[in-house]
Structure 1
């Protein structure tokens, strides 16, 4: 009998709603999620009443629940930044968590609540309308206000004051009040933890930097967690879209009564491992630890005692961004050695170690200086996980969960080896199609060809689909990487009617064996 977990994701995108389901399947578990139609669309909030009913109805069917308080309280991650609902209304929505726990005191419940991001641009696609005029100024105010508080530097104070003078007072007041409301909601969740209503809380840092109001909030949260003795149950680290998958993984291991795997990470460059990834506030090597820590695991310094070897491809000097085409020249430098790193990958695989690959050289796409050689080496079909999408945290959380589910299958034989192998194959195909073909190639082609805002959603989808299928044909031999399984591409779509992300639906079948 297949065991089940319920997940209330942060929105309806494939990476937040479907990815955790795909990963759990590798380990023989089923994740139940609400229908896409109830989860909102970009700025449009979800149908919260329907989601509350769904939670009550599904709770008796599952062993545990992982839920986004941004979805339950505001109607999604993006709506949490623009909602005008009062703190009282949002708190009332969250009381359903207590109701579910009261109905079944043994039910495991894990929450995640994103710290509201501060975007460093004047794009209001995911922000309040005034962001188009004042986004960069609000970011500068936030960054320098916190920097001055931490360092006392006069330059930071002057930049803070300069930005504040240029932002209308009513807009700045609205922004600060929105942050204060969201922060009050986040801190109140600690009460649920102390009361034994929930088991774990993750506060991911969504798109962050070294300083900012969001970092100040994280510092206050960390202080509260320490004062209340909750360090073993609260996790604060860079990330967002991958947290559902991480918590599903954590919960499965707890419900299975199995100790999570121990990881041995190694890097393609020492300087890159110590550099901070874009949109994060700490060295890459520390982000690696954070993503492993949240599932209940830890890192060690040798491969012999490790359950999983984590091969981390890092930039030479600084992580580039393929979506924004920034800092690309700082990635493939003499500060790293991809060839030697690939030889180590082969060494560990041939020694029988379970190995997964996190490609962090770029944000928003895979490394063209590494992946073709990996695919040509015939090693790709033998790895236990791969990712290269969006932020470093997004990729790391995905790869850690992938590899952990393979480890679970091998330890518990929760599903047949063939079913697990097939599920992993399909997930690796999704990552190749999304992280490599689309993010590293197709997205740039589309953006060079058209002005996105001038097209209808249907026109945009037609162009994206055409380019995508052309690249699938071009990379056909690359996608045919597994000796046993063959991919069937069923559908390509744009989840939020924009080019930033893509949705891919596929299945697989056994290859026909030809006897000679």
Structure 2
């Protein structure tokens, strides 16, 4: 008999990586057990790997399966994986814990994920090694043009690499390349764990990527290994990172419930936009949609009548914008898309009792301000099975796939009253609207214009965010008759990039 519990080791302690998977699983009637926040580190400070290993062994008898961030188990988190200086053998020794789990509980599935190390195109070293503040853009260009020359034999790229090799100090470039190679060898060792049956599913998400780069070269090498070892049904490589726990939690639940995953029919607010390459990704949005759905364990179909879930994707007109960086904003809301017609189609499917999830990827780092008010004026949240609009396209897409899958599960194999499912899903969507739209699209921009966020104290920054957020949230919740109250908000990493929101329905015990 199942306990309906899963153990999750997240990549860090932020709300979207730690709390969100738990909230999504709850929609489907499952509980996710999580280590305490204090064990998971803080930004560059790594998590307590020893304590996490002990926690995992302690809860293992209680759960039906595991979803594990190997970046946390090996390095202490996603950010520490980029700055860790330990030897390969030390890292590999830590991952022997997974083999021990499988030997002890061979009947319990283990699904894991390990990010392909990203390459940031800036001088911000908040999540990188210290030398990124001096050579970050140069290292990115070195990476980009090294791979571009390999792929295209472009002489300009070869010249650029030679020039940058002289600009970047030898010891810094060597350290960077050695870190990448060590992390790549760790990922190769995880393929061994898939091949010998220790890992049931493995995801290599590509965190912040582009068309060329050493990370893409590594992805190509991993893809080649996967193909040669015939592991393509168990190993998935695609753009994403922070949402992967949502994907694997939902996939594991379907495996444990022994339910056939739902099929998806994606449709877009613009045909041109569906083929746009999202920022920080290496492929068209329509291919990212398929990649996220396939990683969950399902596939797309060509019409709504054959689909279990209708997947409504809001795309940019010509180019995806970035609300955080305030880039390419004028290329989103163009004549290459039709929001009104797209919303009318959503209403059409809702009226015909189809499950509809909405993924808003018109912008990175926030929801579409020209679309959301129209959507909320015409579509009742309680009729939807998913919504997301946060960070990268992959983060949003994977989250909405997982949300929608949990709602479908309770129709296919009910374990709780469907009214409870709808209530949980509505609260999840309100939380995403408050975070992805109200905060990321509106309040975050207000704060960044009003204060110098890089010079004020953490306390002053939180006060500024809190005051503006509560003011906007009061108006928003009243306007749309959303009966929820905000108990608390916080800045998980003392910066404006992400926010934590404690939300409760009014009158709830």
Q: Which runs of 4+ in 1 moved over 3 A?
A: none
State the partner residue of 1:58.
59
Q: Please tell me whether the aligned partners of residues 429 and 479 of structure 1 are also in contact (alpha carbons under 8 angstroms).
A: no
Q: Which residue of 2 aligns with 1:408?
A: 409
Please give the secondary structure, in 2, of the residue aligned with 1:24. Answer: helix
Give the Cα–Cα distance (whole angstroms) in 2 for the partners of residues 72 and 56 of structure 1: 13
CA pair 73-479 structure 1, distance change in 2 beyond 3 A? farther
The residue aligned with 1:3 is 4
CA 1:126–1:281 in structure 2 vs 1: closer, same or farther (change >3 Å)? same
TM-score by length of 1: 0.97
Shift of 1:479: 4.5
Q: Does 1:496 align with 2:493?
A: yes
Q: Aligned residue for 2:254? A: 253
TM-fit CA distance, 1:458: 1.2
Find the residue that maps to 1:475 and give its secondary structure. Answer: helix
Q: What do residues 32-55 of structure 1 show as CA deviations (whole Å, max 9, x unaligned)?
A: 010001100000000000000011
User: Separation in 1 of the partners of 2:322 and 2:145?
Assistant: 24
CA distance in 1, matches of 2:412, 2:403: 15
Q: What does 1:179-190 correspond to in 2, within 5 Å?
A: 179-190=180-191
The CA deviation at 1:160 is 1.6
TM-score scaled to structure 2, two decimals? 0.98
Is residue 24–residue 30 contact of structure 1 (8 Å, CA) maintained in 2? yes
8 Å CA contact retained: 2:82, 2:129: yes
Find the aligned partners of 1:185 and 1:478 in 2 and give their Cα distance: 51
In structure 2, what is the equivalent of residue 514 of structure 1?
Answer: none
**Which secondary structure does the structure 1 equivalent of 2:454 belong to?**
helix
Q: Show CA shifts across 1:79-114 (max 9, x none).
A: 000001111111111111111111111111011000
The question of 1:507 aligning with 2:504 is answered yes
Cross-structure match for 1:137: 138
The answer (yes or no) to whether the contact 1:122–1:132 under 8 Å persists in 2 is yes
Matched residues in 2 for 1:410 and 1:257: separation? 14
1:222-241 maps to which residues of 2 (within 5 A)? 222-241=223-242
Q: Does 1:358 align with 2:359?
A: yes
Give the 3-state SS of the residue equivalent to 2:305 in structure 1.
coil
DSSP 3-state at the match of 2:163: helix
CA contact (8 A) 2:477 2:484 kept: no
Question: In the TM superposition, what whole-angstrom CA distance separates every residue of 1:57-93 from its partner, at most 9, and x where no partner exists?
Answer: 0111000000000000000000000001111111111
| Unmatched tracts of structure 2, length 5 or more | none
Map 1:422-501 to 2 at 5 A. 422-481=423-482, 486-501=483-498
Q: Partners in 2 of 1:176 and 1:403 — Cα distance?
A: 40
Q: 1:135: Cα distance to partner? A: 0.2
Distance in 1 (CA, whole Å) between partners of 2:478 and 2:274 is 32
Map of 2:341 onto structure 1? 340
How much does 1:478 deviate? 4.0
Secondary structure, aligned partner of 2:319:
coil
Unaligned runs of 5+ in 1: 512-516
* Matches of 2:370 and 2:150, distance apart in 1: 41
> Could you report, residue by residue, the CA deviation over 1:358-386 in whole angstroms, capped at 9, with x for unpaired residues?
00100000001111001111433311100
The C-alpha deviation readout for 1:106-149, integer Å capped at 9, x for no partner, is 11101100000000000000000000000000000000000000
C-alpha deviation, 1:419, in angstroms: 1.8
SS class of match (1:298)? coil
Aligned residue pairs: how many? 507
Q: How does 1:211-222 map to 2 (within 5 A)?
A: 211-222=212-223
Q: Report how far residue 510 of structure 1 moved.
A: 6.2
